Amino acid sequence: MNDEAPPFAMTGGLVRRDGREVLAGVDLRVAAGDVLAVLGPNGAGKSTLVKALLGLIPLAAGRTEIYGVPPAAFRDWKRLGYVPQRLPMGGGVPATVREVVASGRVARQSRWRPSSAADRAAVDRALAAVGLTDLAGESAHLLSGGQQQRVLIARALAGEPDTFVMDEPTAGVDAGSQAALAATLRDLAGAGRTVVLVAHELGPLEPLITRTVELEHGRVVRETALREVTGTTT
């Protein structure tokens, strides 16, 4: 056992958007090694919840902590890997698949220690894990939606974080790539990594999920424990 603070702990989480409560009364503790699926219909607040856990959306009431620290004070971002729903297209500068994936290493680098052999190897492993090695030199924004989703997963993998937060990693991804993602998640779970993922259907990921939380109208309506955490958490 370790007595370190859990990856995420939210109590009484409330988020308002345009004056409307889109998340309310959410108590959620994610333990190290959990593979938690956040389920619910469109507009239930799933994306809002994971963004609030990461501090990307502020809480109007309640509190949330990342490894025991409120998001505004949290500094250890290399411990977290976030897979957003879509590839953000900042600045209009075309980046290659490899460059986007390599950006997942940034939290591990510093001005004094730019890119190393370990960084390049981690990027190679991440590209291979999602089957994008052959497309590494392509412009990421010209890929299909499903391929872009895999780029974002690879970017998070490249950072080798302890905890992954994935917003619909299987959306628009074909059956073969979903199976590949399931294999990757199995390895991560086996290594004791923590995963929070948003999904509409679990599909091939189902056997890996330790716990589900279902949202409706911004509230947790059901929590289900499916299986024991199997990985070795350190």
- Please tell me whether residue 22 binds ligand ATP under the rule CB under 6 A: yes
User: CB of residue 43 vs ligand ATP: minimum separation in angstroms?
Assistant: 4
b/e 197-219 (16+ beta carbons within 10 angstroms → b): bbbeebebbeebbbbbbbbeebe
Among 5, 12, 17, 27, binds ligand ATP (CB under 6 A): 17
Site size toward ligand ATP (CB under 6 A) is: 11
3-state secondary structure at position 216: strand
Structure tokens at 219: 């509230």
Contact 54, 165 (CB under 8 A): yes
- Please tell me whether residue 42 binds ligand ATP under the rule CB under 6 A: yes
- Please tell me whether residue 26 binds ligand ATP under the rule CB under 6 A: no
- Please tell me whether residue 180 binds ligand ATP under the rule CB under 6 A: no
Most distant CA pair in the chain, distance: 49
Question: Residue 39 or 135: which CB sits closer to ligand ATP?
Answer: 39
- Please tell me whether residue 157 binds ligand ATP under the rule CB under 6 A: no
Question: Residue 43 or 68: which CB sits closer to ligand ATP?
Answer: 43
Q: Which helix (H) or strand (E) holds 164?
A: strand 163-167
- Please tell me whether residue 12 binds ligand ATP under the rule CB under 6 A: no
- Please tell me whether residue 170 binds ligand ATP under the rule CB under 6 A: no
User: CB of residue 228 vs ligand ATP: minimum separation in angstroms?
Assistant: 28
Q: Can you say whether the dihedral through the CA atoms of 148, 151, 152, 153 is positive or negative? A: positive
Contact 37, 213 (CB under 8 A): yes
Contact 52, 220 (CB under 8 A): no
Question: Residue 22 or 37: which CB sits closer to ligand ATP?
Answer: 22
Q: Which residues bind ligand ATP (CB under 6 A)?
A: 17-18, 22, 40, 42-48
